[in-house]
Amino acid sequence: MGKTHDEDEIEIDLRELFFALKKRILIILAALVAGAVIAGAYTKLLITPVYSATSTMLVLTKETTLSSLADLQIGTQLTGDYSILIKSRTVLEDVIDELGLEMDYRTLRSNVTINNPEDTRILELTVTNSDPQMAKEIVDTLSRVSSDFIGDQMEIVGPKIIEEGEVPTAQTSPSLKKNVMLGAIAGFVLAAGVIVLMTILNDTIKSEDDIEKYLGIPTLANIPDRKDYISGKASKKKKRKKRRRQEKWQNKK
């Protein structure tokens, strides 16, 4: 069989896409603004803000000295064990019982983050909650309960609380600015994508080049549009009348 026209290929004309996007720029800008507004409204009205409170603990060794290198190394190694013990079920359940929280230990664990800055014996405990005051109370209680638990279970000096949490004044998440920006980008991409897709899939014959492009046959003649033909005839008739008037005027002179 002979090779037919490339029916399975879609030739993408970047110039055509550019002009299609340019022609509908107002639609794209409207989609961008709509995406930003929807994202902002959703963030403000439907997403519960979350606040974070952080306390700081210092890991001490049994001798509670800070002078020897061995003491520093042991303290650094203990921070890994303490991080696991702080988020243990026993500690978390004690915190829940003491504060009367309406959640299980798994939920509380998901709201607790422990950070150990590199080459330090510092543990930073962070608790997130929708209530800023409750976030502080939970992190303070967690620090105290975990310090006592570690000291009793490991028979060593428990971590020392060196800084209690503060009531957060600014929410941790969601970020209104970030969500508005993402919504605007999503609206822009969606509108541009639809326009590009419609342009690529539009195989309407609009010119002689399209006939060869889509049908694979050359054009032999060009039949003008009826409106253009009538408009052309009217224009020629008008020119003839104007020329006759000029000739009459010259003859009278």
* Predicted local confidence at residue 239, as pLDDT: 66
Token match 């962070």: residue?
A: 126
Q: What is the pLDDT of residues 80-91, one digit of tens each?
A: 888 899 999 999
pTM for the full model?
0.63
Using CA atoms of 38, 40, 41, 42 in order, give the dihedral in degrees to the nearest 10.
80
* 164 band by pLDDT with thresholds 50, 70 and 90: very high
* Predicted local confidence at residue 212, as pLDDT: 62
DSSP 3-state of 120 = coil
Q: Which residues, 6 or more positions from 127, have their beta carbon under 8 angstroms from its beta carbon?
A: 52, 53, 54, 111, 112, 113, 135, 138, 139, 142, 165
For the chain, give the number of residues: 253
Q: Which of 54, 56, 36, 38 is nearest to 46 (CA)?
A: 38
246 phi/psi in degrees, rounded to 5 = -65, -40
Q: Which of 141, 30, 29 is nearest to 91 (CA)?
A: 141
Predicted confidence (pLDDT) at residue 198 exceeds the cutoff of 60:
yes
CA distance 244 to 252: 12
Mean pLDDT computed over every residue of the chain:
81
Residue ranges of domains in the chain, CATH in brackets = 14-43+176-204 (no CATH), 49-163 (3.30.70.1130)
